[in-house]
Chains A and B, each alone.
Chain A
Amino acid sequence: MPSAAGIVLAGGRSSRMGTPKAALEWHGSTLLRRTVGILSRATGGPVVVVRAPGQALPALPPQTEVVDDPREGKGPVQGLAAGLAALAERADVAFVSSTDLPFLHPAFVRRVLRAVADGADVGLPVARGYPQPLAAAYRTTLAALAGRLVAQGRLRPAFLFDECEVARLDEAALRADPVVAALDPGLESVVNVNDPAGYAAARARPAPEVTIQLFGPMAGAAGRAQASRGPRAARAATVAGAAAAAGIELAGHVVAAVNGDQITRDGETPLATGDTVFFLAADAGG
């Protein structure tokens, strides 16, 4: 498999929203923080945030890289060029996302990345009625082409697609992935929030349904009923939310592992539908 990374384009003007979308809260985190975390989880590689020159961003994980668009207001291809260039030496393919996809699921990201692994330059979902260039996978070698298009003033993604091999993934192709079919059957990964009404609707949706399991002293804490040790279902969009649902504090001697993968103490680590969160003692001496 080619090495993968993530790019989040955060430099849009948010004119219809009336306030910077990157900093909007969704179930205990910001939209940008959530998107960065989902891409980090799904790709296992670095994540680059591309912002407008000097744009203020909400808090991000320390390993997140931030690069500036050379000029403001030039649209997504410029951001794409900047992000791909930043990753060109370290990854073969990048999933490129806008900052306003609260329902973006790691399984969707992985499915789209596979299109480039299969040989295309771009994996372009066509879902919920539209092509989704800001929820798509791009080979990082496209950085030069994207830069040239910007220099020529050809600022729409369609110009890029005209000059490379694009694998269009329709809804059937996306749902053919059994994990996507199970965890994101409505392909809500591509639902963005563009205006206050859309944001209000997104906030009204419940947090993802996840499973929590406690181990060690958390499982054996006095008074904790056998049934509550887990695994058990909960609604939580972040690890901190899951900890709160379990009645424990994510602190110095407690760590979490999402789906048995990386260990984290970061409460803002995003969760998606179908995730399992393990809470265990950080003190592992044995």
Chain B
Amino acid sequence: MAPGGYFGRALVVDAGSGAAHALPLPEAVLRAYIGGVGLGTWLLHRLAPEGADPLAPAAPLAFVFSPLVGTPLTTSAKFAVLAKSPLTGMLTDSLASSGFAIAGKLTGHDAIVVTGACDRPAALLVDGSGARLEDAADLWGLTAADATRRLRERLGRGWKVAAIGPAGERGVRYATISHDGRHAGRGGLGAVLGAKRVKAVAVRAATKVAPADPRAVLAAARDLRARSFGPATAKYREAGTLANLLAFNAIATLPARNFQEASFAEAPRLAAEDLSRMRQVARHGCASCTIGCEHIYAAPGNRAVRVEYENVFALGPLCGVSDPDAVLAASARCDELGLDTISAGGTIAWAMECAERGLIDAPWLRFGDAAALLRAIDQIGAREGIGDLLAEGSRRAAGRVGRGSLAFAPQVKGLELPGYEPRTMQAMALGLAVNARGADHNRSGAYEADLSGDHDRLAGGPAHAAAAVETEDRAAVMDSLILCKFLRGVFADPFGEWAALLSAVTGWRADGAELRRAGRRIVLAKRLFNLREGWRPQDDWLPERLLTEPVGLASGRTAALTPERLRAMIDAYYALRGLDGQGLPGQADLEDLLLPGPAPALE
């Protein structure tokens, strides 16, 4: 019998044949990897053929739930999607949230894994009667929202849908999977599903799962709910993540014009402080969430768009665009096409710089040109004109353009950088360099250290490495339980409190030390998957621009991150993780991972 909160099995569906089977999940694996991103990482080790092309039928894509899903614990209605990324060639793990998580888990599975590929567009349906594929030719070409609407009309009540947009169908390497307007956004998961010709996955709850100690879970839920209304979540509740923009601009951590600058003179035009009063039309929350971080703004064309800092940063300052109408329209268009806004903005910003340097033949593509931004997004979604090149992401595109353009491609491991300037946030610089997913702000929260006041954010060193390890481990556990990271500030003893929640749900007697080990294990397992798929030590690095071009602060100081300083921080990070000088784990750690097959090694 599975522990509380689990079914103890994953459903593995072959989209080619329609066959499905249950994969038992041993309790030892569940306890070691918890769920969500952790369990998904184990599943990829178990099910992904070594070296498979991410867009090949054999490459699996896993929707993974977690023990906390379905409980009344605030922010727990989240699911993880994992696959080998077509953008990075390494593991990617993205989260989305709300009803799909609950209904998906209550199909009776801790994960739904899709392998194979259909001959023609299909929708995968999973409920109490198992899995089946239905023709979805009529949905092909629709936006994810329209496809979802039509599929739900066809299927009736109770179905929750995750779908791809046109970008996923066309293999844009940073296409998303979206559910109810929220995106599993990073790393091109939409392209993986599109390559399988699966337009949508629909799930319907069919059973229940009880926690081991319902009274304890209810008490914890009440406590957590009360804390979720406090000052730790005020930013998300009152202003949304866009509140970062003007603050980051003031402290020179807002990347602009493809990381040529760390602040943007026209940032006030895009600031939440004023924009929200003029544009905000609603505030929403996910299912089971009491924070309500989603700030919905009116976009041109009677469209409503969820506004997040990363959308606005990437489609605004990073491309030199300050017209709020244009930035909101661009964000809405990315949502319709199913594009990761960070990678779209980063790749377009790189192309704008290439165009200005005369490296590509697109004279219309200029920093600050809103029409050019919108045109580029449409071309990427359609893979037309220069959009076909930009659909590959900045690293691949730079590989084709050459002429030194890789030096300013804003990416790590192929994943475009988020809106945290590494030269003025040097703990974050390390986190971006070493994280398994690539340049990512959700798997490494090292910016917390930079903004804590406890470290010199302009002079990275050993203390920054320790902070990067700590925040990465915390993120790994939160992404596996799963709890929303916007809740993290309410926990005084994070690992201990998370262990108590997990114990109440599962019946295990987990403690904080166990969860710390789980976080470390999950981070290591991701690193090992990447190693298996061709990771090399030089992949843990930052773009040349960030290591050779200093940026100025309003105070008059200059912030520089040298290769030597980054190398020293990476070495310190490896040492703290017990890795050798090349970033490889030792034998003792490998034995703790419960992974199938021999340990991969550097060739």
Contacts and interface: CB of A to CB of B under 8 A. Distances in A.
B456 interface: yes
A261 B486 contact: no
Interface stretch (A71-79, A136-144, A249-257): A249-257
A260 B246 CA distance: 12
B28 interface: no
B229 interface: no
Interface string B238-269: 11010110111011100000000000000000
Main secondary structure of the interface of B (DSSP, over half): helix
B553 interface: yes
The 6 tightest CB contacts between A and B, nearest first, are: A216-B243, A286-B309, A260-B554, A215-B247, A280-B247, A286-B241
B447 A253 contact: no
Given A217-B243, A252-B231, A259-B553, 4 more contacts: A220-B238, A261-B553, A266-B453, A280-B451
Contacts of A196: none
Interface in B435-452: 441-442, 445, 447-448, 450-452
A286 B250 contact: no
B110 interface: no
A231 B453 CA distance: 22
Interface string A33-46: 00000000000100
Nearest to B313: A286
A173 interface: no
A278 B247 contact: yes
A282 B78 CA distance: 24
B557 interface: yes
B483 to A, nearest CB: 13
A262 B232 contact: no
Contacts of A252: 231-232, 489
Contact of B451 (A213, A220, A251, A263): A263
B273 interface: yes
B308 A215 contact: no
Nearest to B293: A285
A128 B420 CA distance: 46
B140 interface: no
Contacts of B243: 215-217, 220, 281
B565 to A, nearest CB: 14
Interface in A223-252: 229, 251-252
Place the interface of chain A in its size category.
Answer: 20 to 34
A36 to B, nearest CB: 16
B307 to A, nearest CB: 11
Contact of A286 (B441, B456, B557): B441
Interface in B525-563: 553-557
Given A219-B273, A284-B244, A261 B555 contact: yes
Interface string A90-110: 000000000000000000000
Contacts of A44: 557
Interface of B: 231-239, 241, 243-244, 246-248, 250-252, 272-273, 276, 308-310, 313, 418-420, 441-442, 445, 447-448, 450-453, 456-458, 485-486, 488-489, 553-557
A68 to B, nearest CB: 27
B452 A255 contact: yes
Contacts of B485: 285
Given A215-B273, A216-B239, A262-B456, A284 B451 contact: yes
A266 B454 CA distance: 10
Contact of A213 (B236, B250, B276, B489): B250
A148 interface: no
A284 B251 CA distance: 13
A221 to B, nearest CB: 8
A164 B481 CA distance: 66
5 contacts: A217-B237, A217-B243, A220-B276, A261-B554, A285-B485
Contacts of B442: 285
A258 B457 CA distance: 13
A221 B235 CA distance: 10
A282 B251 contact: no
A255 B448 CA distance: 11
A114 interface: no
Given A257-B250, A262-B458, A280-B251, A220 B273 contact: yes
A265 interface: yes
A264 interface: yes
A265 B453 contact: yes
A283 interface: yes
Contact of B489 (A221, A253, A258, A263): A253
A260 B273 contact: no
A262 B252 CA distance: 11
A256 B445 CA distance: 20
Interface string A154-181: 0000000000000000000000000000
B486 to A, nearest CB: 6
A121 B598 CA distance: 64
